[in-house]
Amino acid sequence: MRILIQRVTSASVISNGVKTGEIGKGMLLLVGFEDSDTLSDIEYAVRKCTNLRIFDDEAGVMNLSVKETNGEILIVSQFTLHALTRKGNRPSYIKAAKPDKAIPLYESFISAMDAEMLKSSHAGIFGADMKVSLVNDGPVTIWIDTKEAKE
């Protein structure tokens, strides 16, 4: 499971022409799954995302988590996070989970995030044509690969 975390002052997603999510201060999470991902990957990712201290405290030091700031979360599925680019110029997405595996993982990730944050996350629609807008704050952009955490 791979997640690209972006600290934002605002973000929104339009899925199939309809706005399905919009947040103020918080995190935009671009999430991609692979076939070997399990619920333990989701649990790790939710814990890591919600507890990363990437928000400024009163002294201007990145010392607070999205939970501590009562920030919002926008989740967008993105299979291209698993692109392989070693050969040629056309990325291969063979490592990305197929929809029958990825959709339940995506839904589980959203549910787990809601439970951890004690409020509903906003999300794009899996597999939809999406337009994502954001104002990156910092910028702060962090990459998480749950497989690297297990090494």
Q: Angle between the 99-117 and 39-51 helix axes, to the nearest 10 degrees?
A: 40
Contact between residue 82 and residue 93 where contact means Cβ atoms under 8 Å apart: yes
Which residues carry out catalysis? 80
Structure tokens at 97: 């989970």
- Classified as helix, coil or strand, 32 is strand
Q: Which residues contact 77 (CB under 8 A, 6 or more apart)?
A: 31, 32, 33, 102, 106, 124, 126, 127
